[in-house]
Copies of this chain bind each other. A is one copy, B any other.
Amino acid sequence: MTDTAPTAALLIIGNEILSGRTQDANMAFIAKHLGTLGIRFREARVVPDEETEIVAAVNALRARYTYVFTTGGIGPTHDDITAECIAKAFGLPLIRNAEAVRRLELHYAGTGMLNEARLRMANTPEGAILIDNPVSTAPGFQIGNVFVMAGVPMIMQAMLTGIGDRLVGGPVVKTKSVASAIPEGSFADALRTIAADYPGVDIGSYPAFRQGKVSTALVLRATDPALLETVTALVADMLRGLGGDPIIMDGYGDQ
């Protein structure tokens, strides 16, 4: 299934992911959220906290996709270099954003805590539009088609859901799942025929091994609900013909 809907990529900036310290918790949330907006999530990359890597990845992705989202590297410490890197990628000066400063001043008013390190969190490329941070104030920003967000999941989620009106989607992809105990290899040829006959439906086949038993989840995705129903019924019939007792679920079921 390919269409002309807007596309998106995610750039995860973080040594902590590549070292194995932290399991990424943002990609799946972003994937689901973009799905509800009708935006096709096409690629994700994880790069270290290094300027040349970040700049190269941002420029590769922003040229290729409608939207690019980044997570990580916007805090006050020396390893937070995302804002500088995005400015470099766009060939723009890095400035101290007056509105971001104002928000930090309000947040830290009376605490005496607003030092130079924290003010660095107000740096953005010139011309950036802020992304609200209702959790801890220090904002993300948008420049061109790139949306720069925090890596802390709670903050990232608030930022992403807050910029919905800046993102234009296409038709939403609907999903059906068909689960059965028939192993993949037993229906692969029949399924290949159905997939070839209906290119408007993307069909994924995912085996699972639980307590020594094999089961398979078939996931069907399409923008046309009637076509999705038709092909889901065909897949379920095919599995019944093989002696399966398929369970049809909206969405991904309980996996």
Residues of A within 8 A of B (CB): 15-24, 27-32, 35, 41-49, 53, 75-80, 113, 115-118, 120-121, 135-136, 152, 154, 173, 175, 184-186, 188-189, 191-192, 195-196, 202-209, 219, 221, 252, 255
Contacts and interface: CB of A to CB of B under 8 A. Distances in A.
Contacts of A46: 27, 43-45
12 contacts: A19-B31, A20-B30, A23-B28, A42-B47, A42-B53, A49-B204, A77-B192, A78-B195, A79-B203, A115-B185, A117-B185, A117-B189
Contacts of A18: 31, 41-44
Contacts of A44: 17-18, 44-46
B188 A117 contact: yes
B77 A16 contact: no
A106 B24 CA distance: 39
Contacts of A77: 184, 188, 191-192, 205
Nearest to A208: B152
Among A47, A117, A175, the one with the most B-chain Cβ atoms within 10 Å of its Cβ is A117
A220 B205 CA distance: 42
Nearest to A202: B15
